[in-house]
Structure 1
Amino acid sequence: MTTIGFIGLGVMGAPMAANLVDAGFDVIGYNRSPGKSRVLAEKGGRTTGSVAEAVAGADVVITMLPDSPDVEAVVLGDGGVLDNARPGTLLIDASTIRPQISRAVAAAAAERGVRALDAPVSGGEAGAIEGTLSIMVGGDAGDFTAAAEVFDAVGSTIVHVGPAGAGQTVKAANQLIVAGHLELLAEALVFLDAHGVDLSSAITVLGGGLAGSNVLARKAPGMLARHFEPGFRVDLHHKDLGIVVDSARAAGVAIPLGAHVADLLTSLRAQGAGSLDHSTLLLQVEQLSGKHTGLSTAERAPR
């Protein structure tokens, strides 16, 4: 049985690890906050109290961490993944981080005889639970093939997109598109409401036409119900758009709409909405339209 060390059992990591258990893998998980390991233990996985113990006997190591510094510390730091992984171990980083960090991780892993793939995912918490994530993978093509059964357990659209760092570059583009869709969906809802249109009916017909998208299908119901529990937090999308803006600047590419949504997310964070779902952009548009005076106490706190 393939043993997988899974590091990072948060909103995305916990259901991904659980799906790997269901697929028959021996999963040993580690999370900095021990309480989040409960879901994996209940599914039949094993948990441990350190990165070293999760990695030492693993054939595959998966990291799902919040940001680039977290990956650098856990993978490259003293006592981290590379200090404990056996030669030949397959390291899959499913975090969303800066492409240059993924390239640095791949280079450092190669020096230790560890095979590294950057494999960020899209699909949100629902996709992680359902095992239907879209996975964009950068790294060696042979290593990608070797990881096929692991990827199949957590995703449904899995594509090798190029060398190390390419997966993160595609994920940045994904986050740019999602941010634009969310902002335009929020604007459309405020526009429709101002004209007295039944929003539920409007969303149904829009979803059947060219305007239909996964963003509309997954996010509109919560926006209509004004439920902003974090499936994907404003803080994380703000971080991701920072990657997009910096990468675009480095390449000399203009992203005027993306940069504008990045500013709106910055504003939401300043208003205390960082822990809410990124669909909270609806409240931002309402506020700009004079329909909403700011985040209430109830809307600030996740339900």
Structure 2
Amino acid sequence: MCDRLSSKAQQILYSRRNSNPGMKTRCKFTLSWLLMLSVTGLTQSAAGGSVSSYYADIDVAGWQTDSSVFECRLMQQIPGLGQAVFYHQAGAALSFYLQTPDTPMQAGRALLTSQPPVWRQELGVRDLGYVDVAISKRPVTLDAQRSRLLMAELERGMVPTLMRRAWFSDQESVHVGLSPVHFGGAYAEYHTCTASLLPVNFGQVERSTVFWQPNQRELNDEITAQLDDIVTYVEADPAVYGFEINGFTDGAGNPRENFELSRIRAFAVHQYLVDQGINEDMLNTRFFGSAPQFRIVEQERSAADRDRNRRVTIRLLRD
């Protein structure tokens, strides 16, 4: 791998080796030293003062994936600190967070930069703005846009680096760097995982409500799309063992007719789930008509109030 270094990086390496003829130089060690020089030496001289750096040396740096249809993780262990994690849950947006039992950074705002390794100095340092730091086991959490930016920098072979004052001293800085070593292969696995995620997660379908138009008795496209997401999730999660389906109407009209209408709507949902392959033994379906104690809005004063009460609820039961 030594022949892949730029001429500038090789000059640094050979001048260091020539100054100490007894030094046994291995390419693996050299790349590690150069990468650490990029992240710690350059940032230390820029910021001044003492620096505590947390960074995965090339000997141990790598990325791991944890994949399922429910969630995807792309992770790097950072010695002495914890873990850097890109996390994408089904039905939710991508995020990034640092996981640590005890953060060395002060609460406040950390500078986020993207720094090149020594052998790619022509790329220069990029300022990526400031991010919030909290005193918690997840001191840094980034939204989808900033997370994708970090991924793009890692793909370029850059070193995204957080810089913040240490909690124990205003004269000492903490630098946390993400190594790009072996990122490409793990990122490809992660991308395969995200392409296979379910459209929803359990929290989004555990308690669902479908609403109905006045006198509506049959399912429409909006309702079936909602039920399809529930079916897709249940088919993938063997921990789901049951459904509770409850039908309700608004208070307009005859109570006896409302009771029957709530039954028709509840069993329309029931039958659709069965038709999609759900075991009927898993379904517990009930109906309550327009009984005031079951209304979302007990005293209906408008059409909007009645719209909220005309509903069928579906609750998933899960081990």
TM over 0.5: no
Higher Cα Rg: structure 1 or 2?
Answer: 2
Higher relative contact order, chain-length normalized (CA < 8 Å, sep 6+) = 2
Larger relative strand fraction: 2
Q: TM-score range by the shorter chain?
A: under 0.3
Q: TM-score scaled to structure 1, two decimals? A: 0.27
Q: TM-score scaled to structure 2, two decimals? A: 0.26
